[in-house]
Amino acid sequence: MSDSETFDIVVVGAGVIGVATAYYLQKNNPDKRILILDRLPAAGQANTAMSAAAVRNMFASSTNQLLTHTSIKCIEHIQNEIGYELLFEKTGYLWLLSDDQFNHESVQTWMKRMETSGIHYKVFNKEELKNMIPGLNVDFTNDEEAELMNLEEVSYGLFGGDCGVLDPTRLVEFYLEEFKKISDVKPRFGVDVEELLLSADPPLELPGEPYVWQNKLVTGVKTNKGVIHAETVVIATGAWANELLDPIGMNSQTKAKKRQMFVLHADEKEGLHKLLDSKGFNELNCIPFTILPSAGVYFRPQLQERGFWIGCGDKLGRAYHYKHTPSFDVAESSYYENSVYPVLSKYIPAFEGSRPVNSWGGGYNYSPDAIPFVYYENGVLVVNGASGSGIMKADAMARIADALYRGEEEAELFGGKKISSSALTIKDRDVEIESVVI
């Protein structure tokens, strides 16, 4: 152990989950020496930065409602009370739905559950939507292409005004700066954690231990810059949790798919400027984050650049992966052209002829119930499985992780609401299955 260092806690991953967790751990355990590690040159540069950077409280499960509602309130607090600019803009979220979709049991249940939880939403009908969204195509009659493409016609819009978009790297910076104020351990970047060190407890110094009859504990990490020991290792690596957990036989229960984002600018296209300036949804007088009825295609405004980010919820046909590969970082132009663009331009013909000016890819982590995991086993504190919504759940997940670390039965979320610290564990999981996943 002579050439290795020792900390109380090592946090692997400086994405939004990692820095938020490090912050609350340090705040509530001031004597602990907490080291943040990330393989990239700065914080929040991996999948946090690759997301659609949007937040919503419009979930169907009371669990996700609570996690996101409190985290978004915290985001508002950071921006409005503390005065730290996160570029949080309440664009709202708008689900465009067909008649069948709107009347489907799952959507009706979703709406009822939002009412029960006091989550505000509005329903717009087809005429209202046509008036509010310039150029929205709500009629596919005699459109053989649309029929071939299985596109559902827009009949309703389900809108949540407390949702919006933000700059996730600023949120990461906020937590990191707050962490640095109260920690005397400097975060380290460019450090690749290669494996978790699983040790016998107590160690007997036998060759090849730990054996099956020994108690085992994770006691640190092996990195490309040497071994670091810690009593607790926080796994906040999002989509890549399996890289570290599988080898020691811990089951993250999550797996990842590649997701892609394409940036379009309105430029000289009058129709896209009008779309961007859709009225009636929010105080910004802009188009909300909008989910189309078919194929999982969605878009969000990017007001500073007068443009849009376009994404798609990949399902059947997109492979699951367990490890990060370079192919994850790069968007596929054929995917935009063949899969995304045809759908987008059918619903909003103003997009016709638009080509991405930028694009990227990232890893999207699937949890089986679309609820995050936060558990503390074998010296490993796993904070994972946000299922594409890490930014909007990070604050709550981080507080729960800290409560688990301190052995508290309940975690206090922003605004004073409480949740059982074990609700998101594997062993004592107590959650509602989430049905509203993008």
Name the site residues for a copy of itself (rule: CB under 8 A). 148-151, 198, 204, 206, 208-216, 242, 245-251, 253, 255, 257, 294-297, 312, 314-322, 334, 338-340, 342-343, 366, 368, 378
Give me the least distance between CB of 288 and a copy of itself, in Å please: 22
Neighbours of 196 (CB within 10 A): 24
Given the complex with a copy of itself, which of 10 and 343 has the nearer CB atom?
343
Alpha-helical segments (H) within 155-292: 168-182, 241-245, 270-276
User: What's the CA gap between 126 and 340, in Å, rounded?
Assistant: 23
Give me the least distance between CB of 10 and a copy of itself, in Å please: 19
User: What's the CA gap between 383 and 372, in Å, rounded?
Assistant: 8
Neighbours of 57 (CB within 10 A): 25
User: What's the CA gap between 366 and 363, in Å, rounded?
Assistant: 10
Given the complex with a copy of itself, which of 175 and 376 has the nearer CB atom?
376
Given the complex with a copy of itself, which of 77 and 216 has the nearer CB atom?
216
CB distance 153 to 140 below 8 Å:
yes
Please name the helix (run of DSSP H) or strand (run of DSSP E) that holds residue 154, with its range, or none: none
Furthest CA-CA distance within the chain: 77
User: What's the CA gap between 67 and 194, in Å, rounded?
Assistant: 31
Given the complex with a copy of itself, which of 23 and 373 has the nearer CB atom?
373
The three-class DSSP label of residue 164 is strand
Any bridge partners for residue 122, and if so which? 159
Given the complex with a copy of itself, which of 65 and 252 has the nearer CB atom?
252
CB distance 50 to 21 below 8 Å:
no
Given the complex with a copy of itself, which of 78 and 244 has the nearer CB atom?
244
What residues contact residue 386 under an 8 Å CB cut-off, 6+ apart?
17, 238, 365, 367, 372, 393, 394, 397
Given the complex with a copy of itself, which of 58 and 297 has the nearer CB atom?
297
Q: How many helices (H) and strands (E) does the chain have?
A: 13, 21
Given the complex with a copy of itself, which of 236 and 295 has the nearer CB atom?
295
The string of DSSP codes covering 274-330 is: HHHT--SSSTT-SPPEEE-SSTTEEEEEETTTTEEEEEE---TTS-EESS--GGGGS
User: What's the CA gap between 438 and 430, in Å, rounded?
Assistant: 22
Q: What are phi and psi of 368, to 5 degrees?
A: -60, -35
Given the complex with a copy of itself, which of 87 and 149 has the nearer CB atom?
149
Give me the least distance between CB of 149 and a copy of itself, in Å please: 4
Give me the least distance between CB of 86 and a copy of itself, in Å please: 31
Give me the least distance between CB of 192 and a copy of itself, in Å please: 19
Give me the least distance between CB of 252 and a copy of itself, in Å please: 9
Given the complex with a copy of itself, which of 185 and 438 has the nearer CB atom?
438
Please name the helix (run of DSSP H) or strand (run of DSSP E) that holds residue 53, with its range, or none: none
Give me the least distance between CB of 339 and a copy of itself, in Å please: 4
Give me the least distance between CB of 319 and a copy of itself, in Å please: 5
Q: What are phi and psi of 201, to 5 degrees?
A: -130, 105
Give me the least distance between CB of 211 and a copy of itself, in Å please: 4
SS3 content of the chain, % helix, strand, coil (to 5): 30, 25, 40
Give me the least distance between CB of 253 and a copy of itself, in Å please: 6
